[in-house]
C-alpha cells in the first residue's frame, strides 16, 4: 500500500461548503439576472449608510457576532415537483450543514405548494454564513382537472434534476462523513446545475398554456428540466430606504413591503421585491420549436428583526390579519400608503421596546454577563434576582435574529411576482405528514430552536456570574 493511500483524508467543514455554494450561486444568478447585481450594490450602499449613522447598531451587531455575516447573507427559493426531488434536496443541503426548519402551508393563501426552509441551526454556523433556501413542493392534488394532473405527474416523473455526479458526491459525504476540498468544489459545481436557468421548456406551448391557466406557479414547476432558483435575497438594515431608492436604479418595487410595519425594534421579517422578468423560452413541439415567454425569476430584499415567541407570534398574526382583512392592496384595492398607515396604527399594540418585548415574553433574546457583572461576581457582591442584575448593568441582553419565514409574506411575494393578482381558493387542509414523508425527515420547530438558544445563553451568563440556576420571569 502506498504512503499516500494510508494518509487520512482531510474533510472541509460544512460551513466551508455552504460558503462556496453561496458565492457560486450568487455569481451565477448575477450573470443570469443583471438587476440582481444592481440590487446587491444598492443594499450595500444602504447598509453602509445605516452603520455610519447608527454606532449603537454597529456595536450591537458586532457584539452579537452578526456584523460579518451581513454582507454574505442571502436566501434563495426553489420549487420542486415530486417527493423524490424533495427527498434528495434534503440530502444535498445536508452536505452544506443545512437542515429543514419549519413547515409552511401556502395553499391557504392561494398558492398550491407547501414548504420548508433549509438552513444552518447552530449559532456559530449561522454567524459564518446563514444561507437559507425556501423550498416548496408542488401539491399536485390541488390541480382540479384530473387529466391535467395526471399529465403533470407524468412530465415530472420523467425528469432528473440532479446530475449523477452530484448524487455520487452526496453519497460519498454520507458514507465518509465529509468531503475534501477538491470534492467540495466539484460538489458545488455539480449541485449548481440543479439551480441553473434553462430557456427550453420540456412541454409544448399548448400544454404550458393549460398548466399556466390552472396556476402560473404550476406551469413554472412542471414545464422545465429543473427547478431554477427563482430569487436570491440580500439582507438590508433599512428596507424602507431600499424600497424608496430602487427606482433611482431603474428598478420598480412591488406596491407594499410584506410583513410588519417599520419600527424602532425590528421584529420577524420584512420583504420587498421587483417584478419578475419576462424571459424568452422555447417550447417543445412535435415538428418545430415554438418561441414564447415565461415569468418566474425576480429580485427580493429582506430586513430581519427579532424572533418572536409563541405568545408574540400569536399577537403578530392577529394584528396582521386584522389589517389584511380590511385593507386590500392591488387591483381595485387601497393604495400602499393607506395600507402602511393602517398597519403602523394596528401594530402599536405590540411593544416597540426591547425591554418590554423581553419582559412580556414576546421575543427571544441572547443573554451575556457584562464585564461589570463579572467583576462584581469576583468581588462576591452578587445575589438574587436576574431583573436586578439587568437593572445594574451586570446582565445584558440582545435580540436573537429571526432566521425563518412568514407564509403570508411568502405568498404575497409569490403572487406579486407571478405578475398577477390571481387568487385560488383551495378547499384543503395543511398536509404536514405528507410533506415530511416525502422529505424523509421531520422538520424542526423553529420556536424550540430559538428557546434553546435563549436558555443556553442565559445559563452561560448566570454561570459566569456565579449564579447558576436563576431564571428570568416574564409578565403574564
- Does some domain include residue 66? yes
Exposure of 316 in the CB half-sphere (CA atoms within 13 A): 24
- Residue range 158-178: mean pLDDT, rounded: 97
Q: Are 472 and 359 in contact (CB under 8 A)?
A: no
The residue assigned the cell 424533495 is 86
Is a pLDDT exceeding 50 seen at residue 333?
no
- Does some domain include residue 196? yes
- Residue range 104-116: mean pLDDT, rounded: 86
Q: pLDDT tens-digit profile of 376-396?
A: 888 776 776 788 899 999 999
pTM of the model: 0.89
Q: Map residue 223 onto helix, strand or coil.
A: coil
Least confidently predicted of 38-47, 172-181, 358-367: 38-47
Distance CA 40, CA 21 (A): 17
Distance CA 191, CA 189 (A): 6
Distance of CA 161 to the CA centre of its chain: 22
- Does some domain include residue 332? no
Please state the domain count of the chain: 1
**3-class SS shares of the chain: helix, strand, coil, % to 5:** 50, 15, 35
> 430 or 456, which is more confident?
456
Pairing of strands 74-80, 132-138: parallel
Residues 6 or more apart in contact with residue 453 via CB below 8 angstroms? 123, 364, 366, 400
Beta strands across the sheet bearing 74-80:
99-105, 113-119, 132-138, 74-80, 231-234
User: Which domain does 196 fall in, by range?
Assistant: 14-307+400-444
- Residue range 440-457: mean pLDDT, rounded: 96
Distance CA 122, CA 129 (A): 11
CA-closest candidate to residue 71, choices 28, 131, 16 = 131
Least confidently predicted of 5-19, 22-36, 320-334, 365-379: 320-334
Distance CA 222, CA 217 (A): 9
* C-alpha dist (Å) from residue 71 to 68, 153, 274: 7, 40, 20
Distance CA 98, CA 125 (A): 10
- Does some domain include residue 314? no
**Cα separation of the two ends of the chain:** 69
- Does some domain include residue 468? no
- Residue range 44-70: mean pLDDT, rounded: 87
* C-alpha dist (Å) from residue 15 to 26, 127, 185: 16, 10, 13
- From start to end of 143-260, where are the E strands? 231-234
Q: Residue 327's pLDDT is what?
A: 61
- Does some domain include residue 346? no
- Does some domain include residue 248? yes
Q: pLDDT tens-digit profile of 248-287?
A: 988 888 888 889 999 999 999 999 887 766 778 888 775 5
Specify which residues 263 forms β-bridges with.
none
The residue assigned the cell 444592481 is 38
> 16 or 412, which is more confident?
16
Which residue intervals of 33-145 are DSSP H helices?
Answer: 34-53, 55-63, 67-70, 83-94, 123-128
Q: pLDDT tens-digit profile of 367-380?
A: 999 999 999 888 77
Q: Are 458 and 400 in contact (CB under 8 A)?
A: no
- Does some domain include residue 139? yes
Q: pLDDT tens-digit profile of 127-142?
A: 889 999 999 999 998 8
Return the CATH number at 99: 3.10.180.80
Amino acid at each position: 500500500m502506498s504512503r499516500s493511500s494510508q494518509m487520512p483524508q482531510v474533510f472541509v467543514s460544512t460551513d466551508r461548503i455552504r460558503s462556496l455554494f453561496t458565492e457560486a450561486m450568487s455569481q451565477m444568478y448575477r450573470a443570469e439576472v443583471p438587476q440582481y447585481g444592481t440590487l446587491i450594490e444598492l443594499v450595500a450602499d444602504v447598509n453602509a449608510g445605516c452603520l455610519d449613522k447608527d454606532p449603537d447598531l454597529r456595536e450591537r451587531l458586532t457584539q452579537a457576532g452578526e456584523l460579518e455575516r451581513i454582507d454574505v447573507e442571502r436566501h434563495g427559493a426553489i420549487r420542486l415537483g415530486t417527493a423524490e426531488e424533495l427527498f434528495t434536496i434534503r440530502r444535498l443541503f445536508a452536505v452544506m450543514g443545512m437542515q429543514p426548519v419549519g413547515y409552511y402551508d401556502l395553499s391557504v393563501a392561494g398558492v398550491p405548494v407547501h414548504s420548508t426552509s433549509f438552513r444552518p441551526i447552530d449559532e456559530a454556523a449561522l454567524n459564518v454564513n446563514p444561507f437559507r433556501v425556501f423550498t416548496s413542493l408542488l401539491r399536485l392534488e390541488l390541480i382540479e382537472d384530473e387529466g391535467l394532473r395526471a399529465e403533470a405527474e407524468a412530465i415530472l416523473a420523467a425528469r432528473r434534476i440532479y446530475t449523477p455526479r452530484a448524487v455520487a458526491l452526496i453519497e460519498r459525504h454520507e458514507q465518509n462523513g465529509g468531503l475534501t476540498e477538491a470534492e467540495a468544489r466539484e460538489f458545488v459545481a455539480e449541485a449548481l446545475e440543479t439551480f441553473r436557468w434553462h430557456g427550453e421548456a420540456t412541454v409544448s406551448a399548448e400544454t404550458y398554456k393549460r398548466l399556466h391557466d390552472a396556476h402560473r406557479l404550476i406551469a413554472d414547476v412542471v414545464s422545465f428540466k429543473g427547478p431554477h432558483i427563482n430569487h436570491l435575497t440580500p439582507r438590508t438594515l433599512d428596507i424602507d430606504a431600499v424600497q424608496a431608492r430602487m427606482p433611482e436604479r431603474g428598478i420598480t418595487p412591488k406596491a407594499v413591503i410584506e410583513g410588519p410595519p417599520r419600527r424602532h425594534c425590528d421584529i420577524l421579517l420584512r420583504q420587498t421585491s421587483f417584478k419578475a422578468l419576462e424571459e424568452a423560452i422555447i417550447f417543445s413541439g412535435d415538428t418545430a420549436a415554438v418561441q414564447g415567454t415565461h415569468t418566474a425569476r425576480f429580485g427580493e430584499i429582506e430586513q430581519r428583526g427579532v424572533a418572536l415567541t409563541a405568545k408574540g407570534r400569536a399577537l403578530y398574526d392577529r394584528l396582521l390579519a386584522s389589517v389584511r382583512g380590511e385593507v386590500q392592496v392591488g387591483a381595485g384595492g387601497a393604495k400602499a400608503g393607506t395600507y402602511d398607515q393602517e398597519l403602523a396604527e394596528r401594530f402599536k399594540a405590540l411593544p416597540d421596546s426591547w425591554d418590554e418585548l423581553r419582559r412580556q415574553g414576546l421575543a427571544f433574546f441572547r443573554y451575556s454577563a457584562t464585564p461589570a457583572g463579572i467583576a462584581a461576581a469576583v468581588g462576591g457582591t452578587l445575589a438574587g434576582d436576574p431583573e436586578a442584575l439587568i437593572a445594574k448593568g451586570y446582565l445584558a441582553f440582545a435580540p436573537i435574529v429571526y432566521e425563518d419565514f412568514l407564509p403570508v409574506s411568502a405568498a404575497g411575494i409569490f403572487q406579486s411576482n407571478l405578475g398577477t393578482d390571481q387568487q385560488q381558493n383551495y378547499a384543503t387542509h395543511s398536509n404536514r405528514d405528507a410533506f415530511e414523508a416525502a422529505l424523509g425527515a421531520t422538520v424542526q420547530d423553529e420556536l424550540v430552536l430559538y428557546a434553546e438558544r435563549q436558555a443556553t445563553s442565559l445559563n452561560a451568563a448566570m454561570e459566569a456570574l456565579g449564579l447558576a440556576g436563576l431564571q428570568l420571569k416574564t409578565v403574564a
